[in-house]
Chains A and B, each alone.
Chain A
Amino acid sequence: MAAWCPALAIDRWHLCRPSPESSERSDQPLVLVGETAHGPRITAASAPARAAGAQTGMLLADARALAPGLVVHPADPAGDRAFLETLALWAQRWGPWSALDPPDGLIVDVTGVAHLFGGEGALLADAKTCFAARGLAVRVGIAPTAGAAWALAHHGVPGHRIMEHDADPLIVLRDLPVAALRLDHAVELLLGRLGLKRIGDLAAIGRAALARRFRDRRAPAANPLVRLDQLCGRVPEPILPVVAVPVPLVQRRLLEPIRHRPLLDQVLADLAQALARRLEAMGQGARRLELALWKVDGDVLRRPLELAAATRDPAHITRLFAHRLDDCDAGFGIELVRLSAPWAEPLALTQIDLDAAAEAHGTSLSACIDRLTARLGAGVVAMPVPRASHVPERAQRWIAPDPAHAVQEELAFHARPLKLLDRAEPIAVIYQAPDGLPRLFRWRGAVHEITRAEGPERISPEWWREKGTARLRDYYRIEDSTGRRYWIYRRGLSGDGRGGAPEWFLQGLCA
């Protein structure tokens, strides 16, 4: 649906002026002027002014010569634009999204919506009623494409502003002027000189001729063929919708009107915290804040505040407002306090609080493991879990830390050392008798005398996993003369036919 307010600037000017007499409103020959390099120029003229001879685009001096009784006021294009934006949001009552069509139109997507209003005719009537209630003159049209709807709204005949879904737009719209194609003024002039005055004329001369004539025009507004295709829906026409950004706002309606400053400070602190939570949820920080106090007698006190950088620190906000509230007069009491942030900027969440909390209460285990893993690497932080194997170095494996790791029944070993060397180190051993208890051993360049020994504990190789030539191990728990304990083993037996003389290794320590 396209809506066009032909006299948006004039209507808005009237709405801004409290002049209830409607007769006076319509009778005034009002013109709005904008300053240009050649003097004031008319940007909008009311119907009486137009009847008197003032046209849009005319110099004010020329218009005054024609109609000396003109009422002149300055135009406000920025205000009109802002008004149109709010109008576009308001127009979302008829469809899920709406777009601006500057300077004075709107496009609303009403696909699949019309039946909610009782058909497209009823939808148009409703739109007209609502615009009239706002004091705006409007022309609306409904068509399958935005271009066709625009053409119907701007140039359609009253009573024929609806195009059916399955109708051919080139037939329905053939009598409309080429201006209904949203073309530049220069292109319209050119087409007029070529004798092509209506859309039907353009469609009749064929695509090839149009494409050749306008082959170097890229912009849709300068190329009638593109506009014609957009009108028929043969090429897509993306439209930028208007999205409402909700203003973060918190308010407290007070049970009892407050008249004293400490209570107001308390309310303000609560509001600041609530607003901070709201802003944090949106990932934003406030740049401008506004505190509004409704008094019992209907008066409203406003305290705006601008911030140098986006913030949502409640203590900071409270402190800033505390200075601004010194001069406010509570009168008979304040019954409603509202804090809003009309201007907010994205502000990422920061971890300052987390660090402070960690400083005060310690980190959690997962946070600790994450930090260690991030700094030291993934495989460095590990946790031993048992593995079903009786070979000592295979009896445990390392996994990523998981305190809740469930283990099944563990193998019960006789006595195991506290620590295991990564690789068993060969030692030289002197023993009393072959296959007997060892007496002396040399390890890392030092000779240790063995005073106590227990063993052997014979551990066979895992025949299902290792080669057939793997040798068994005889483990001994030993203690040297200074009381240190080691776990050593002899690999193989003499004469087992799997290699030469047995070798001795030191595998574990009891620290």
Chain B
Amino acid sequence: MALALALDAADDPADHRPWLWVQDKAAIRHSGRPYRPGLPAALRHRLIHVAADRVEDALFALEEGVRCRDLAFVVGEVAGNPAALDFTASRRLSLAAQRHGVPLWLVRLAARHDLGSARMRWDVSAAPSPPPRWNADAPGDPRWRADLFRAHVFQPGKWIVGHDGEGHNLATFSPDHGGVVPGAGDRSLAPVPAIA
């Protein structure tokens, strides 16, 4: 989740359009609602949040958001493997996103791998953070273990991703495949299956 945000925050700091965050009820119960003071400073004032009751409503909201030209990007959070989110729905979303050029990040919490038509499908989990400089006992900058297991144009691979020190850009810390570094996030229309 944070990875999705980080990718897009890194994407275009000069963009001032609002963005949409759609959650279904199960996702809210599973991991809570967005908390404004904890969001990146560049994004927190532009958030529009949709708390959908059902997965169908969440999918509708996602599609509406993707079709809206005034949104910077759309984040969807769906927990588990609901029947409504099948390959057809996924294909519908990626076609709409492709057509209108609005990036869509579909985060699937606690889900197993399923059929999906996203351009890139990541399996993201947390990774232990490095010790911070001043307090070795405190949690450091977040790191993620990102596994690109299905992509249209890129080679699948595994990376450890995190912020590079002071900057807000992403960096890879164990580039075992070389090549697609954070640029992989570049304008992708990627539902991200993630295990939070």
Residues of chain B lying within 8 A (CB to CB) of residue A398:
49
Q: Which residues of B contact A477 (CB under 8 A)?
A: 138-139
Knowing A452-B129, A484-B126, say if A511 contacts B31 (CB, 8 Å): yes
For residue B42, CB closer than 8 A to chain A, the reply is: no
Say yes or no: A361-B138 contact (C-beta < 8 A), given A418-B2, A422-B28, A452-B129: no
Q: In residues 21-69 of chain B, which contact A (Cβ within 8 Å)?
A: 28-29, 31-39, 44-53, 57, 60-61, 64-65, 67-69
Interface of A is mostly: mixed
Q: Once the chains are docked, how many angstroms separate the CA of A510 from the CA of B69?
A: 29
* A283 contacts B by Cβ under 8 Å: no
In this assembly, does B70 line the interface, its C-beta being within 8 Å of a C-beta of chain A? yes
B38 touches A454 (CB 8 A): no
Which residues of A are found within 8 Å of B139, using beta-carbon distances?
452-454, 477-479, 485
Q: Which residue of A lies closest to B38 (CB)?
A: A416
Contact A376 B61 (CB under 8 A): yes
Contact B68 A362 (CB under 8 A): yes
With an 8 A cutoff between CB atoms, is A240 at the interface? Answer: no
Cα–Cα, bound, A453→B135 (Å): 10
CB contact under 8 A between A384 and B137, given known A367-B68, A418-B39, A483-B143: no
A367 to B70, CA, bound (A): 10
Q: Are B49 and A368 in contact (CB under 8 A)?
A: no
Give the dominant DSSP class at B's interface: mixed
Provided the pairs A417-B38, A452-B138, A454-B138 are in contact, do residues A422 and B128 lie with their beta carbons within 8 angstroms?
A: no
- Distance of A411 Cα from B37 Cα, bound (Å): 9
How many residues on the B side are at the interface (Cβ–Cβ under 8 A)?
52
B140 at the A/B interface (Cβ < 8 Å)? yes
A481 to B142, CA, bound (A): 13
CA distance A454 to B135 in the complex (A): 8
Q: Is the CB of B31 within 8 A of A380?
A: no
Of all chain A residues, which has the CB nearest B18?
A403
CB distance from A506 to the nearest CB of B (A): 10
Q: How far is the CA of A362 from the CA of B72 in the complex (A)?
A: 13
Q: Which of A363, A376, A508 is the most central at the interface, judged by chain B CB atoms within 10 Å of its CB?
A: A376
Q: Closest approach, in angstroms, between the C-beta of A275 and any C-beta of chain B?
A: 32
Given contacts A381-B50, A382-B49, is CB(A368)–CB(B70) below 8 Å? yes
Q: Is there an interface contact between A420 and B33, defined as CB atoms closer than 8 Å?
A: yes
Known pairs A363-B69, A510-B2; A485 contacts B126 (CB<8 A): yes
Q: A363-B68, A403-B46 are in contact. Are A479 and B2 (CB under 8 A)?
A: no
* A281 to B66 Cα, complex, angstroms: 33
Decide yes or no whether A35 CB sits under 8 A from chain B: no
Counting CB contacts under 8 A, is A464 at the interface?
Answer: no
The B-contacting residues of A in range 142-159, CB under 8 angstroms, are: none
8 closest A-B pairs by beta carbon, nearest first, are A362-B69, A511-B1, A365-B70, A454-B138, A416-B38, A483-B126, A368-B68, A419-B32
Q: List 12 A-B contacts (CB under 8 A).
A: A363-B69, A365-B18, A368-B70, A368-B71, A380-B53, A383-B47, A396-B35, A417-B35, A453-B139, A479-B129, A482-B128, A510-B142
User: Which of B's residues lie within 8 Å of A, judged by CB?
Assistant: 1-2, 5, 18, 28-29, 31-39, 44-53, 57, 60-61, 64-65, 67-71, 100, 102, 125-129, 131, 135, 137-140, 142-143, 145, 196
